[in-house]
Each structure stands twice: as C-alpha cells, then as structure tokens.
Structure 1
Amino acid sequence: MSDITWVIVANGERARVFQTQGLALDLQEMEDLVNTAGRGTGLTDKEAEVLDRGEQKEKLEAKFSKRVADYLEQGRLHQKYHRLIIAAEAKFLGMVRADLSEETQRLIFEGVSDDFSELDVVEIQKRLRKER
C-alpha cells in the first residue's frame, strides 16, 4: 500500500475525512460524518430530563467524538492510512485525541486547533499549508 495520509477537519457537528498521497495536501474527500444525534435528542430520557441545554450539547459532542475516533481506529486497523492530520475546534480536537488509542495517537502527524469543517477543499488546503 502506498503512503496515505488522512486529513480530518471537524467540530462537534461535522467531521470531514480527506485522503492524500504522502503529505502533498491534494485532498480527496472520502467521508462526511454528521452529528445526527443533535437532530433528535440523542440522549436517554433520563439524560434529557436532568441535563440543561449546555450539558446536553456537551454530551452529544462527546458521543460524536467517540464516533469520529472509532472511524479513525477502524481505518488504522484496516491499514487505510499511515498518518493523520487533524484540524478541529480546540475543545473537540482534545476530545477526539482523548478517545483515540495510543496506537492511533502515534499516527497523528499534525494537530491544528482550528475549525475548517465548513470551508471548501481549496481553502482547507491553503489553511493547512499555512500551518506548516
């Protein structure tokens, strides 16, 4: 398998997964994960009853972080990439990192505390190049 990098741009609502050869940043979008739990409550009845809006949002983001981390873990286990670049809103970046195994954390080449999830691919590439 060739040298593949996955680039993840994310926030608590959305995580876009791109692939590139090596570190070229010629991004090809592979997946667009959306936090659909926010459309319903995504919480148990008890959680929805006892948590205020801010706590509910945080709980939903934590569940989405685990979903993103699971996706990255599966990619690593199936040897779909060799390194990761993660650009995410600072709090969400920390959540995702905390949910990753040590093996997957070692594949993080770069972590950027910025939310690029709503930008087009050309702008994402420009911003990531500026970070280097």
Structure 2
Amino acid sequence: MTTIWTLTADGSRARIFQAHGMERDLEEIKGFVNPLGRAKDGELRDDAQGRFAGKGEPMHSMAPRIDQAEKERVEFARMLSQYLEQARVEQRYDKLRLAAAPKFLGMLREHLDKEVQKVVFEELNEDISRLGAREVQSRLAAR
C-alpha cells in the first residue's frame, strides 16, 4: 500500500501527517517548531544598525540588508527539506503532499531535493498547519 505524507507548514511550525492510501485517516507522526520564525527582526539583531554620514549630511541609520526573521524562515525551510530527503532515502513515504503558507511554500520548493520534488503529487497554497488531523483531512478532501 502507498504511504502518503502530508507536510503542513508556515515559517514557524510544521507537521507531517501520514496515511496509507488516499482514503485513509491522517495520523500526525512528526512536528517541528521554529520559534524564531515569528520573531520580529528587531528581536533577532545582536546590536544596533550601522550609522552613515554622507558629506555634509546628518547621521542616519542604514536599513538592514537582510531581514533576520526571513533568514530564519529560509533556514527552517532548508531543515525541513533535508528531513524530507532523508525520509525519502529511508523509504518512509512514497508520495508527498505540501500544504503551506504561500510564501513559505515557495521557500520549500526552492530547497527541495530533485528526488523529493519527483514524489510531490499535490500542493496546497494555504496555511493549514494549525488545524487538527481531521480538519486537515477534510480540507484536503474538499479540493
């Protein structure tokens, strides 16, 4: 029987549900938390922004080049992608469904291994990561 994993995720939380065949009940088998995924950029900085004074101009703060909170979400997507690749190698699932917040789904796509991409059979561009297993299942069935 085909083992199907469904990954539900946003930038701060991810859950993996498993089913055997398309009509089976989903069972949550793994959860991930990224507490820094919801942090404000200012909460992640170690020190103040740099100061810049142009010729004859008053000093002002320079805008940060990289949003640190965004960087944390990208790292979370990378970690999830590595987990999915390792589980694929271990043959823990046959097919994969992704259901994620739109921006985070893009991050996941960017970091998924090519072999994992081959087993993705469905994508849901919606954050359902906080729903219970039955709610996730009914949301997927309604598609």
Normalised to the residue count of structure 1, the TM-score between the two structures is 0.85
Match of 1:106 in 2: 118
Match of 2:31 in 1: 32
Match of 1:115 in 2: 127
Match of 1:125 in 2: 137
Q: CA deviation at 1:35?
A: 0.6
SS in 1 for 2:142: helix
Count residues in correspondence.
Answer: 128
Output the amino acid matched with 2:5: W
Deviates further, 31-40 or 56-65: 31-40
Output the amino acid matched with 2:90: H
SS in 2 for 1:67: helix
Identity of aligned residues (%): 40
Q: CA-to-partner distance for each residue in 1:37-69, whole Å, 9 max, x for gaps?
A: 45889x7958x96775x8111101000000111
CA–CA distance in 1 between the matches of 2:45 and 2:136?
36
CA–CA distance in 1 between the matches of 2:24 and 2:45?
41
**Structure 1: gaps spanning 5 or more residues:** none
Output the amino acid matched with 1:35: N
What is the RMSD of the two structures over their aligned residues, measured on CA atoms?
Answer: 2.6
Q: CA deviation at 1:26?
A: 1.0
Contact 1:25 1:125 in 2 (8 A): no
- More helix per residue: 1
Q: 1:16 aligned to 2:28? A: no
Q: Judging changes above 3 Å, is the alpha-carbon distance between structure 1 residues 25 and 13 closer, same or farther for their aligned structure 2 residues?
A: farther
Q: Judging changes above 3 Å, is the alpha-carbon distance between structure 1 residues 59 and 125 closer, same or farther for their aligned structure 2 residues?
A: same
Name the larger-Rg structure.
2
**Structure 2: gaps spanning 5 or more residues:** 51-62
